[in-house]
């Protein structure tokens, strides 16, 4: 069995690539990093260390292809692969689409492409990018024979500097959920995948808990002068505020998707314990980067806060406080943080928030955030 995985970075090697290899696939990594590709081809294996433990696993039967210099070989590998996966980042899906289109059109049998990105509908978005590089007949063939099942992925991979280029540290916990409705042919036999008929609840659970929780820790932590997520989690008062924000977002999930309340609150505690792992501690500036995107209408703070107003009919106090703290977030090395503060200087915090979150002045969340901004300014 053969798998092609786009993205040989830490997530690619430490999560998806590792599971593919453990499932018995010959795994071919495709990347633009020539140094990584050369190391993969030389060693044909690498080590994955499990953070917070003394355990590690050896990933074998791997190799690499440079997508810039080895395009024909990449096309050939796609043609022969039973499964193709990606972990390249949302903005790179359009970049890899042309070579994927070429490779898929050479396939003789049905296959599946799974985008394992931190985004909603990643595989469907990648499919649309690929179809832009096909004519009408080719589009029909791809739609008929290639599945693009959406997926949700969750595994913390901390910022790290390893002596060995290929060694990667990841947390022991992971979740890889794949939607069955778009699969073509049989389901890939990969231990670690959870197959579901409807992915939406799992995507929102991850977004509203893991991503929201991380953002809460980052923005409250930065406001209170902490440098790492571990330092934030060691502050009982802030930890309780993180728990409160996740209970607000959790109330939305419980009402919207009928999650079991007790089970979901246990899930929240699991997420909090993951953040406390000292081997996973990140800089608050890395977790909080790109604040404009994270304050957007469909992202981890505003979306659950607006949904809380809709489903619970109350003001989201903790989420509003975090949003207010994010409006004070400064980091001169972060382009979006600089842009956000420039907008705030020009228009004020609340007007800047309304613009970024695409909310009207009379929206209840705007009023709640404004109250929290005044509180933080004292």
Binding-site annotation: residue ranges: 3-14
What residue has token string 């590792």? 18
Annotated binding-site residues for NAD(+) read 3-14
Closest CA to 323 of 377, 372, 251: 372
Contacts of residue 378, defined as CB under 8 A and 6 or more positions apart, other chains included, come to none
Tokens of 295: 């304050």
Q: Residue 6's beta-bridge partner residues?
A: 30, 86
End-to-end, the C-alpha distance of the chain in Å comes to: 62
Residue 243 C-alpha from the chain's centroid: 21
Give the three-class secondary structure for 243: helix
CA distance readout (Å), 188 to 111, 127, 173, 282, 339: 9, 19, 21, 33, 44
CA distance readout (Å), 152 to 113, 119, 175: 14, 8, 8
Pinpoint the alpha helices (H) of 30-182. Answer: 34-43, 71-80, 93-104, 122-131, 136-145
Q: What string of H, E and C letters represents the secondary structure of 301-367?
A: CHHHHHHHHHHCCCCCHHHHHHHHHHCCCCCCCCHHHHHHHHHHHHHCHHHHHHHHHCCCCCCHHHH
Tokens of 302: 């505003």
């Amino acid at each position: 069995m053969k798998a092609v995985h786009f993205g040989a970075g830490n997530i690619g090697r430490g999560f998806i690539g590792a599971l593919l290899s453990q499932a018995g696939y010959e795994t071919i990594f495709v990347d633009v990093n020539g140094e990584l590709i050369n190391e993969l081809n030389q060693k044909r294996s690498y080590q994955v260390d499990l953070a917070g433990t003394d355990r590690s696993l050896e990933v074998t039967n791997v190799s690499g292809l440079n997508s810039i210099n080895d395009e024909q070989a990449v096309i050939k590998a796609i043609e022969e692969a039973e499964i193709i996966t990606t972990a390249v980042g949302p903005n790179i899906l359009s970049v890899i689409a042309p070579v994927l289109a070429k490779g898929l059109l050479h396939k003789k049998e049905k296959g599946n492409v799974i985008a394992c990105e931190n985004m909603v509908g990643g595989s469907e978005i990648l499919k649309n990018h690929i179809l832009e590089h096909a004519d009408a007949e080719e589009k029909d063939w791809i739609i008929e024979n290639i599945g693009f099942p959406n997926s949700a992925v969750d595994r913390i991979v901390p910022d790290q500097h390893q002596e060995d280029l290929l060694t990667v540290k990841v947390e022991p916990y992971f979740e890889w959920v794949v939607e069955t409705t778009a699969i073509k042919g049989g389901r890939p036999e990969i231990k670690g995948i959870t197959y579901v008929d409807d992915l939406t609840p799992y995507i929102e659970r991850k977004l509203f808990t893991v991503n929201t929780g991380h953002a809460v820790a980052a923005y409250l932590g930065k406001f209170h002068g902490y440098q790492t997520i571990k330092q934030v989690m060691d502050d009982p008062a802030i930890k309780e505020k993180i728990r409160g924000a996740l209970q607000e977002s959790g109330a939305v999930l419980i009402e919207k998707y009928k999650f079991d309340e007790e089970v979901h609150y246990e899930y929240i505690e699991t997420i909090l314990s993951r953040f406390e792992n000292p081997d996973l501690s990140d800089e608050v500036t890395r977790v909080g980067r790109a604040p404009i995107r994270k304050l957007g209408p469909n992202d981890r703070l505003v979306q659950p806060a607006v949904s809380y107003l809709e489903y619970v009919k109350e003001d989201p106090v903790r989420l509003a406080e975090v949003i207010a703290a994010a409006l004070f977030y400064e980091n001169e090395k972060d382009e979006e943080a600089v842009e956000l503060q420039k907008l705030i200087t020009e228009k004020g915090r609340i007007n800047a928030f309304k613009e970024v979150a695409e909310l009207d002045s009379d929206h209840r969340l705007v009023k709640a955030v404004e109250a929290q901004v005044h509180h933080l300014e004292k």
